[in-house]
Amino acid sequence: MYIVTHWLLAPFEADIVARALAAGVLAACLCALVGCWVVLRGSVFLGEAMSHGMLPGVAIAALLGGSLMVGGMIAALAMALGIAAIGRSSKLASDTSIGLLLVGMLALGVIIVSRSQSFAVDLTGFLFGDVLGVRSVDLAILAAALTFTLAATVVGHRAFVAVTFDPRKAATLGLRPQLAAVALTVLMAVAMVATFHVVGTLLVLGLLVAPPATALTWARSIPRVMALAAVFGSAATYLGLLISWHAGTAGGATIAGVAVLIFFLSTAAHLLRGRWRQVSTATAVACLAAGCSNGAEPAVPPATSVGAGDQVVIEGARELDGALTKLVLVDPRTGDTAVYDAVDETETRVDSAGPVTSIAGDGRFAYLGTDDQTLIVDAGAWTFDHGDHYHYFATEPALVGTLDVPVTSVSASNSVTAVAGGNDVRLLDRERLGAKEVEPPSGLDVGDDVTAVVPYGKRLVTVTDAGIVRAVDDGGSTDLVGTCPSPSWSEPTRRAVVFGCATGAIRVTGGDGDLTVTDMPFPADAPAQRPLKMDHRDRADVFAGVSEGTVWVLDSRLRRWTVIPVPDALTANTSGDGMVLVLHRDGTLSGIDVSTRTETARVPLFPGGVPADGPQPVIEIDSDRAYVNDAAARQVYEIDYADGLRLARTLRTEVSPGLMAEAGR
């Protein structure tokens, strides 16, 4: 027992090792606070680049006799700013810009070092650390950095969480996500500069990434992850110094290596724990079945398997962790067009071609109608519906091409887009649109008498000018049981297709099987003037529209119409949660409870009201925000409709947004 205790404690009787342990524990706690955000934000490559980018600053500071930490801090922040600048102004992917600057800064540092023949030892210490050479002043710096970082983490916790998981919500809550992202970058630089004396820049990510990654295996809340990461990092420091002392290995490298080893051992333990539970459960069930069967044949549960079809790869696009919100804005008088990123609050101009009279969107592309043609604009963000979940993609906004018909409405699936223009319907291959090719899909065609088309799975559902409903695929067309006289609007939901008719609406369901048409007639006491257009949140089943003095709401799942008298209603939309948003002529936006037909909230948006001339504003709506365009003021109002119609942000635009369509969600 004495021998074991002596082996575990003897190294730390030396002052240099005791100081190294204290420095390592301080560094582990500091890296736990910052590394949690690095791992959650997926910024490991950025951290690697910043750690290498410190070399020129440290080298210059050493040659000039200045502070190595100040030089390293300046260089690391310059590296981060350079990556951000290239990312905003270039079409290069972020990892490309990071890689270029990493190589450039590292090369610059080596060039500077090569000018001093006596700097080789210092360079080795910079790259690999000198944990046994820690001085009292280094401990003081680590303690100060830990105190500063802990205070910043506590003060900025809410903003850091929001910018990590939902940058748009961070902006709408007034948490300034861009400033929060900068603050996290500064904290990353502080952690690296304060700890490179312990393990060196090449190994600093071992403490910055491995302990938080290990903690994420066992904890879910951020404070617990940070605390557990500090424990794992401190354990790696102790074990690394212990091994280094007895085995004669490099201290900093051993600490980083042990931190990574703990991650793999922890991951293996977690997997074995899950397997052990499965085996234990299966054994218990088998024993129970055997004991209770009385010789009867036990029931065998159906086998389950996971296919490999989850991966969705789209050439030229990058996959995101969550949906973006892009707004395509058009000045109808001049045709000036821009794509506005509602997360970053940046505006990208797109080529224009004269006055525009209408706009329609399909979730990615915007279709700008002129007197005789349609311009197609790629907003650069979209959601791919994979059936039971979604994938999110982004690319650069661009003008795709033109159609020789003016657009009136658009609907799309993952592969096909149907563009209606007057009495003409055009089908487009949506994947080829992404490659800026305006071409029809192969094997699909509709007749000249079709006035409304909605893609539905692998088929098209069409309605002719005589009201005949058909299903069309590459094998031909099939008439369905049901009619839709004088179709006026059409919209897809996630599980159905809905058409507006002179007598009400119809809902087509069935997926890839047999299609069924369900009639949804107008109420007998409904006003004579009916809505010519209905809007909804993408893929939702509830629709809203306006006729003179009336707001119409259709719940297509329940086949129920609700008619609400609203004398000055201009436009309406609904998220499908029991509330309809209505924009009034006096410039106010109201929320109306559909079940009670009573107004629950109202906010002023347009000072002086909405003018009757020119294109009228619209309400674009997604899962948690609504957007209303104000052309005269050159701004878009972002509304948190779940919070009493709170005006979350006013987005200032360069292009006068007389026409607007949302994309990305």
| pLDDT tens digits for range 44-90 | 777 777 777 777 887 787 777 777 777 877 887 787 777 666 655 55
Q: Which three-class secondary structure state does DSSP give residue 570? A: strand
Q: Which residue's structure tokens are 């040659």?
A: 63
Specify the pairing of strand 489-492 against strand 476-483. unpaired
Does position 584 have pLDDT exceeding 90, yes or no?
yes
Categorize the per-residue pLDDT at 568 as very low, low, confident or very high, splitting at 50, 70 and 90: very high
Residue 634 sits at φ, ψ, to 5 deg, of 55, 55
d(CA 50, CA 59): 15
Does position 306 have pLDDT exceeding 80, yes or no?
no
Lowest mean pLDDT of 332-346, 382-396, 651-665, name the range: 382-396
Q: What is the mean pLDDT of residues 625-632?
A: 94
Domains (range + CATH), the chain: 14-201 (1.10.3470.10), 318-442 (no CATH), 453-521 (2.40.10), 527-657 (2.130.10.10)
Least Cα distance to 518 among 536, 539, 535, 493 occurs for 493
Q: What is the mean pLDDT of residues 473-487?
A: 90
Task: Return the DSSP state at 93.
Answer: -
d(CA 410, CA 335): 20
Does position 239 have pLDDT exceeding 70, yes or no?
yes
Proportion of the chain above pLDDT 90, given as a percent: 33
Proportion of the chain above pLDDT 70, given as a percent: 84
Residue 29 sits at φ, ψ, to 5 deg, of -65, -40
The whole-chain average pLDDT of the chain stands at: 82
pLDDT of residue 254: 83
Categorize the per-residue pLDDT at 359 as very low, low, confident or very high, splitting at 50, 70 and 90: very high
Tokens of 424: 């003409």
Categorize the per-residue pLDDT at 273 as very low, low, confident or very high, splitting at 50, 70 and 90: low
Alpha-carbon distances of 450 from 145, 373, 486, rounded to whole Å: 70, 19, 11
Q: What is the mean pLDDT of residues 228-257?
A: 84
d(CA 368, CA 390): 27
The DSSP line for 174-235 is: T--HHHHHHHHHHHHHHHHHHHHHHH-TTTHHHHHHHHHHHHHHH--SHHHHHHHHHHHHHH
Alpha-carbon distances of 194 from 4, 29, 616, rounded to whole Å: 34, 12, 57
pLDDT of residue 128: 58
Task: Return the DSSP state at 259.
Answer: H
CB neighbours (10 Å) of residue 645?
21
pLDDT of residue 291: 46
Does position 7 have pLDDT exceeding 60, yes or no?
yes
Alpha-carbon distances of 469 from 321, 462, 508, rounded to whole Å: 39, 6, 9
Is the pLDDT higher at 237 or at 281? 237
Q: Which three-class secondary structure state does DSSP give residue 629? A: strand
With a CB cutoff of 8 Å and minimum separation 6, the contacts of 71 are: 54, 57, 58, 59, 60, 61, 62
d(CA 450, CA 470): 10
Provide the whole-model pTM: 0.64
| Beta bridge mates, 509 | 516
d(CA 252, CA 267): 23
Categorize the per-residue pLDDT at 130 as very low, low, confident or very high, splitting at 50, 70 and 90: low
Does position 4 have pLDDT exceeding 70, yes or no?
no
pLDDT of residue 566: 95
134-161 pLDDT, tens per residue?
777 778 888 888 899 899 888 888 888 8
Burial class (CB in 10 A: 0-12, 13-18, 19+), 55: buried
The angle, 0 to 180 degrees and rounded to 10, between the axes of the packed helices 204-218 and 44-64 is 150
Inter-residue contact 49 to 83 (CB < 8 Å): yes
Q: What is the mean pLDDT of residues 542-562?
A: 94
d(CA 175, CA 159): 5
436-450 pLDDT, tens per residue?
999 998 888 887 889
Categorize the per-residue pLDDT at 251 as very low, low, confident or very high, splitting at 50, 70 and 90: confident
Question: Assign residue 295 a region: left if phi > 0, alpha if psi is -120 to 50, beta otherwise?
Answer: left
Tokens of 180: 């929060």
Alpha-carbon distances of 170 from 173, 176, 220, 380, 392, rounded to whole Å: 5, 7, 21, 22, 19
d(CA 335, CA 351): 9
409-424 pLDDT, tens per residue?
899 888 899 998 877 8
3-state helix, strand, coil in the chain (%, to 5): 40, 30, 35
With a CB cutoff of 8 Å and minimum separation 6, the contacts of 61 are: 67, 68, 70, 71, 72
Least Cα distance to 260 among 192, 213, 197 occurs for 213
At 200, the amino acid letter reads G
DSSP run (H or E) holding 87: helix 68-89
Task: Return the DSSP state at 591.
Answer: E
500-529 pLDDT, tens per residue?
999 999 999 998 788 999 999 999 988 989
pLDDT of residue 84: 65
Does position 309 have pLDDT exceeding 50, yes or no?
no
pLDDT of residue 298: 39
Tokens of 334: 């001049």
pLDDT of residue 550: 95
pLDDT of residue 378: 94
Tokens of 259: 């931190």
Tokens of 120: 């080789």
With a CB cutoff of 8 Å and minimum separation 6, the contacts of 228 are: 214, 215, 218, 219
Number of residues that this document lists for the chain:
665
Q: What is the mean pLDDT of residues 616-643?
A: 92
Does position 131 have pLDDT exceeding 70, yes or no?
no
Categorize the per-residue pLDDT at 301 as very low, low, confident or very high, splitting at 50, 70 and 90: very low
- Give the dihedral of Cα atoms 315, 320, 325, 326; nearest 10 deg: -30
With a CB cutoff of 8 Å and minimum separation 6, the contacts of 160 are: 37, 153, 180, 183, 184
At 440, the amino acid letter reads P
pLDDT of residue 225: 87
